[in-house]
């Protein structure tokens, strides 16, 4: 019985940590709206499949997924199709990461592929 309890406790702890980690998902207006209304940290990664800098940023973001303390959702925005969203956030280049806390922009990076730069940008909203 003790091992079963230990297993369940460990499973719950791991699940809780996973729920509080960096979450990367495709952009949707609903996800952005919900995060902003709840005053949750959220980042918009304006990404183009043809962009090598965007691909490098995506690799850095994937690497940060397991890092403790980065409790933020990154919404991957299609740079080529989300023209209204680009206008709304005044985005003029792919590889732009706009970090928000509710309606307030806390940080913006363009073309940065360094783990430290991206981590710092994400932490600005926490």
Give the residue with greater pLDDT, 16 vs 30: 30
For residue 12, pLDDT over 50 is answered with no
pTM of the model: 0.83
Contact 90, 35 (CB under 8 A): no
Q: Compute the chain's Rg from CA coordinates.
A: 16
β-pairing, 23-26 vs 41-47, is: unpaired
Res 20: pLDDT: 59
Contact 57, 122 (CB under 8 A): no
Q: What are phi and psi of 50, to 5 degrees?
A: -85, -5
Instruction: Count CB neighbours of 43 within 10 A.
Output: 27
CA distances from 47 to 15, 68, 115 (A): 29, 24, 17
Residues 21-70: tens digit of each pLDDT: 899 999 999 999 999 999 999 999 999 999 999 999 999 999 999 898 89
Which residue segments constitute the domains of the chain, with CATH numbers given?
22-123 (3.40.30.10)
């Amino acid at each position: 019985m003790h091992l079963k309890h230990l297993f369940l406790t460990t499973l719950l702890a791991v699940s809780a940590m996973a729920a509080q980690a960096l979450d990367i998902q495709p952009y949707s207006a609903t996800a952005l709206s919900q995060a902003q209304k709840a005053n949750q940290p959220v980042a918009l990664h304006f990404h183009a499949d043809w962009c090598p800098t965007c691909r490098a940023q995506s690799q850095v973001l994937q690497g940060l997924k397991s890092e403790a303390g980065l409790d933020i959702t990154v919404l991957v925005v299609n740079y080529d199709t989300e023209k209204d969203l680009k206008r709304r956030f005044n985005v003029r280049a792919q590889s732009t990461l706009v970090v928000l806390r509710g309606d307030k922009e806390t940080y913006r990076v363009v073309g940065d592929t360094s783990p430290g730069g991206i981590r710092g940008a994400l932490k600005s909203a926490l």
